[in-house]
Amino acid sequence: MHIMEGFLPAGHAIAWTCISAPFVVLGARGLKRILAERPEARLDIAASAGFTFVLSALKLPSVTGSCSHPTGTALGAVQFGPGIMAVIGTIVLLFQGLLLAHGGLSTMGANVFSMAIAGPWVAYGVWRLAGRLGVPFAVAVFLAAFLGDLATYVTTSVQLALAFPDAESGFGGAFAKFAGIFAVTQLPLAVAEGLVTVVVMNALKGRRIRVEGAKA
Amino acid sequence: MSLTIDRLSQAGRWRKRAPMEKAALALGLLALALVLPPWPGGALVLGAAWGLALGGARIPPGDWLRLNAVPLGFVLTGAAALAVDVDAQGLHLAADQGRRAALVVLRAAAAVSALLLLAATTPAPDLVRGLRRLGLPAEIAEIMLLTWHFLFLLLDQAAAIRTAQEARLGWFGPRRQVRSLGLLIAQLLPRAMDRARRLEVGLAARGFDGSLPMISTARPASRPVLALILGGQSALAGVSLWLG
Amino acid sequence: MIVEARGLSYAYPGGVPALSGLDLAVERGRRLAVLGPNGAGKTTLLLHLNGTLKPAAGSVLLDGTAMGYSRAALTGWRKRVGLVLQEPDDQLFAANVAEDVSFGPLNLGLGEAETRRRVDAALDALGILDLADRATHMLSFGQKKRVAIAGALAMEPEVLLLDEPLAGLDHQGGKRLLAALDRLARAGTTLVFTTHEVDLAYEFADRVALFQGGRVIAQGEAAAVLADRASLAACGLEPPLLLELGVRTRDEALALMAARRKVY
Amino acid sequence: MIVEARGLSYAYPGGVPALSGLDLAVERGRRLAVLGPNGAGKTTLLLHLNGTLKPAAGSVLLDGTAMGYSRAALTGWRKRVGLVLQEPDDQLFAANVAEDVSFGPLNLGLGEAETRRRVDAALDALGILDLADRATHMLSFGQKKRVAIAGALAMEPEVLLLDEPLAGLDHQGGKRLLAALDRLARAGTTLVFTTHEVDLAYEFADRVALFQGGRVIAQGEAAAVLADRASLAACGLEPPLLLELGVRTRDEALALMAARRKVY
């Protein structure tokens, strides 16, 4: 769920950029280490980023038209780890802003935090936890994608509520408003994404394509 | 599959202008849209961006309207939340009669049009090269340029897979949509990785050692043009403060 | 006419016209080659004939009835008109061959037993029943190509649209594929295929439509259209080698070709 | 012999043998067609001739010297032997044409001025100087193909390896590409190309190596090898149509072909 260009006041835009920056810089460091060992890995990373971008351009027709598709982020978090995903996600968000006018430059810090940091970390955490608890494969995949998606949606609602607190009820009321409005589109989408990701992971397994952390 | 913004930026009237000039113009307007009060500053930025896009860069009005419409739709959905208050009695129109919502919409509309002015006149790779000169690490810049290359190939593949699925009646109905999309993604991911492998072979033949050196094809910015841009932006800021 | 296009016009975003007032008629049971250079819009035409693309002007008719673009209309349309794209990797989605071929029949809402029957029949028609259990990503290019056709065939369409069916196949692979398509045609399926190869059109089609500048500039019996030097030249093409070398009649040419392919 | 392969053997991971004791010799200034069916390992052979793949047994020689696989040796090798893959998208990576073509020269350590000279010369040789500023993803297939060749050519190799150079091109596109390759050959570049089309080998090569089962089963002057029915049949191929139709000499055939292509 992207926050559009210009929607956040300058102060909030700068603050979220500062909050996201360390994650992206650390991710970039990790990426550099990988590239130092295996220079040609930049082709794989770029192909994954391109792939993630394409997912965002594939729309599941939904109630309100197009919406974001973090499916790739959940897949990527599982494949590359959430650290690297912060960098890949940032690149994807930049191209989404520049090629699809989806999101924006000033709001990029906030979007990176919700979609390239919070979402992937939650998806990754759920995936690992489910693995440890012995949750069945399909359920674990669904929960990782579904909850990763929800984490993005809740984070965005928090970001908007912080920027636009309600005149009377303050942050709480504003959060309820934003979360309520976006629930209409985001809850069904989160379910759809969870289901789609299950189909994807099953199909990949069927092709014997290795999925990190998946029990055979 | 072609993306409207890319198509416009590759073939537009400002294609040959220095990326630095276009970036200074559009990003300057974007900054003004954020720091000036939405009224009248945002309105002035909005007018300037639309004037430059339609009159200067000659972006076809139909394309320009469509490009603005999509992000504005999302802006309006978000702004709807600002126009209402929640309290014990439930939802009602905000005490300020939606003034805050209107100002946010105005600011966002100005900022979106400034972003689009940049995006629709400047191919994204030009901007990545600019970021590189501003200190973006070479590895990241190379990954970004490669991402750009892959995404068009993968967009075409995704479109072809979808056409094939629709020809066999996938995508009709919600259950089939979920299954078709899942199968599409599962088909695309290994192909993306396969493309990376094959490109590695292709580049190895030209001496690929990991890095991706290329000659620069950037055009230098003209100082008078930059001065004109900054002057115009200062004037816009001045008028805004004077009117406000 | 089982399929007919009347005055089709279509432009890709950015205003590049791909079709401009195109007319085409396909008789039931025929093999029509849509012949023209690359980039002329042949694929765009096929995508109109199964309703994937909606023309800006003009209409597509099946059995004389102009088709609509509602979901119900498209379902009926695609049931009757199958499409096979050039690149088989774009149309194999499932992990194994039988599962992939069942995609269409299952989407038609057919039961398991009927789906199985159709999958087997389609694989049999393409001569690849033995591949049923194989993983799709392990197949050779030629095998993938035949699985892709089986996927379309399992919906039992009346018309099969094929985009550059022989592209990428070598001599033997092409021979095998043409033999399979020949069996389909004899069993009554109407075939419409695009190609940029004059010799293929001459060899396999009974009717040819010359495609150039977004329009069909000539259509008719293969032998007649392919002997029309002027029209061919307008498409950047030249008459079939056999015609040039003095093999003047189609029968004579076919006999020669048959000797080479040894499959008919 | 500018390039020679002696007893090359190679198996892909999984144990499928692709080359088994292959011998091949290429004389300087020649145009050699490596002719064989799809999946026979022709591409694998090319990847050995520029050192991309390292054989399990046997060696590759340049000008009589067996090549090593150290980084320095490979750099020198690839400077002398350029490779053009079948699919141009597997070779193009940069956002615009000039940048892409400059990649090889810059990897050779050349300065900016010399790189620019080479980029222009390579684009000029392929007749695409006007594309220098264009975005690579907006090019047609035929244009991409020529840019990919320019990318190899800018390294000024002595030998150019081309994998199925005409695949996917239509009549006009093929004509244009062959004309460009003909100019290169006349300027002294040794050409080695793979193909599954007997007619192409007959038309464009002066030497032919028949490839089957991971080995070269016959090599020699094009006219002689292509008249050898038994060897061709072993590869699932048949003699060129022209030969079959009674055009017995190569000169006669070339005259006929030249009349058709109108470019030489």
- For chain B, domain boundaries: 4-122+222-243, 131-205
CB contact under 8 A, D99 and B205: no
Confidence (pLDDT) at D261: 44
**Residues 155-184, chain B, touching A (beta carbon < 8 A):** 155, 158, 162, 177-179, 181-184
pLDDT at A216 over 50: no
Select the residue from D118, D137, D149 to test the B interface by mutation, using most B Cβ atoms within 10 A.
D137
- Spell out the per-residue pLDDT of chain C, length 264, in tens: 899 999 999 998 877 889 999 999 999 999 999 999 988 889 999 999 999 999 999 999 999 999 999 999 999 999 999 999 999 999 998 889 999 999 999 999 999 999 999 999 999 999 999 999 999 988 999 999 999 999 999 999 999 999 999 999 988 899 899 999 999 999 999 999 999 999 889 889 999 999 998 999 999 999 889 988 889 988 888 887 766 665 555 555 556 555 554 333
Gap between the Cα atoms of A45 and D64, Å rounded: 41
Distances (CA, A) of A38 to A175, D73, D153: 45, 20, 28
Gap between the Cα atoms of D144 and D127, Å rounded: 13
Q: Looking at CA atoms only, how far is residue C114 from chain D in angstroms?
A: 36
CB contact under 8 A, C38 and D242: no
Domain that holds residue C85: 3-263
Distances (CA, A) of D167 to C115, D88, D101, D131, D162: 37, 11, 21, 22, 11
Q: Looking at CA atoms only, how far is residue C95 from chain A in angstroms?
A: 5
Of B160, B168, B172, the CB nearest to C87: B160
Instruction: Provide the CATH number for the domain around residue D158.
Output: 3.40.50.300
Contacting chains of D (3 CB pairs or more, <8 Å) are B, C
Confidence (pLDDT) at D199: 86
Confidence (pLDDT) at A186: 82
3-state secondary structure C47-71: HHHCCCCCCCEEEEEECCEECCCCH
Of B100, B110, B182, the CB nearest to A203: B182
Q: Does B195 lie at the interface with C, CB-CB under 8 angstroms?
A: no
Number of domain units in chain D: 1
Contacting chains of C (3 CB pairs or more, <8 Å) are A, B, D
The residue written with tokens 């590869």 in the block is: D235
CB contact under 8 A, A206 and C94: yes
* D113 HSE (CA, 13 A, CB side): 0
CB A45 within 8 A of CB B213: no
The residue written with tokens 């000033």 in the block is: A106
Give the ipTM of the model, two decimals please. 0.90
pLDDT band for position A67 (cuts 50, 70, 90): very low
Gap between the Cα atoms of B69 and B62, Å rounded: 11
Alpha helices, H only, D36-136: 42-49, 71-80, 97-107, 112-125
Crossing angle (nearest 10°) for helices B43-51 and B99-119: 30
Look up residue A157 and give its two tokens: 């609602």
Gap between the Cα atoms of B133 and C85, Å rounded: 44
Indicate if the alpha-carbon torsion angle B201, B204, B205, B208 is positive or negative: positive
**Identity (one letter) of the amino acid at A189?**
L
Kindly state the percentage of chain A with pLDDT values over 90: 54
Strand order, beta sheet including C57-62: C17-26, C3-11, C57-62, C65-66
What would the mean pLDDT of A53-59 be, rounded to a whole number? 79
CB contact under 8 A, C173 and D241: no
CA C76 remoteness from chain centre: 19
Q: Which of C118, C185, C120, C175 is nearest to C142 (CA)?
A: C175
Angle at the Cα of B101 from the Cα atoms of B98 and B103, rounded to 5 degrees: 110
Of D39, D140, D238, the CB nearest to C171: D238
Look up residue C221 and give its two tokens: 């019996």
Gap between the Cα atoms of C103 and B179, Å rounded: 10
pLDDT tens per residue across span A131-155:
899 999 999 999 999 999 899 999 9
Q: Looking at CA atoms only, how far is residue B161 from chain A in angstroms?
A: 12
For D37, name the nearest residue in chain C, comparing CA atoms only. Answer: C170
Confidence (pLDDT) at C253: 54
For B8, name the nearest residue in chain A, comparing CA atoms only. Answer: A99
For B16, name the nearest residue in chain D, comparing CA atoms only. Answer: D133
CB contact under 8 A, B115 and A198: no
Helices (H) and strands (E) in chain D, counts: 11, 10
pLDDT at A62 over 50: no
CB contact under 8 A, A207 and C93: no
pLDDT tens per residue across span B102-150:
999 999 999 999 999 999 999 999 999 999 988 999 999 999 999 999 9
Gap between the Cα atoms of D127 and C246, Å rounded: 35
Higher local confidence (pLDDT), C191 or B3: C191
For C195, name the nearest residue in chain D, comparing CA atoms only. Answer: D170
Q: Looking at CA atoms only, how far is residue B202 from chain D in angstroms?
A: 5
Distances (CA, A) of A143 to A60, A75, A98, A203, C14: 19, 12, 31, 17, 42
Mean pLDDT (chain A) is 85
pLDDT at B244 over 60: yes
The ranges of chain D with pLDDT < 50 are 261-264
CB C193 within 8 A of CB C17: no
Gap between the Cα atoms of D84 and B135, Å rounded: 34
Q: Which of B46, B167, B24 is nearest to B111 (CA)?
A: B46
Confidence (pLDDT) at B112: 97
CB contact under 8 A, C38 and D196: no
Distances (CA, A) of B44 to B30, B47, B225, B227, C181: 12, 5, 21, 20, 65
Q: Give me the CATH code for the A10-204 domain, please.
A: 1.10.1760.20
Q: Does B197 lie at the interface with D, CB-CB under 8 angstroms?
A: no
Confidence (pLDDT) at C157: 96
Gap between the Cα atoms of B30 and B236, Å rounded: 12
Q: Does C238 lie at the interface with D, CB-CB under 8 angstroms?
A: yes
Using DSSP bridges, classify how beta strands D65-66 and D81-84 pair: parallel, antiparallel or unpaired. Answer: unpaired
pLDDT band for position B96 (cuts 50, 70, 90): confident
CA B127 remoteness from chain centre: 11
Gap between the Cα atoms of D127 and D131, Å rounded: 9
Confidence (pLDDT) at A24: 96
Q: Does B7 lie at the interface with C, CB-CB under 8 angstroms?
A: yes
Q: Which residues of A touch C102 (CB under 8 A)?
A: none
pLDDT tens per residue across span D207-263:
999 999 899 999 999 988 998 888 998 888 888 776 666 555 555 555 655 555 433
CB C143 within 8 A of CB C173: no
pLDDT at B152 over 50: yes
Confidence (pLDDT) at D245: 64
Q: Which residues of B touch A207 (CB under 8 A)?
A: 186, 190
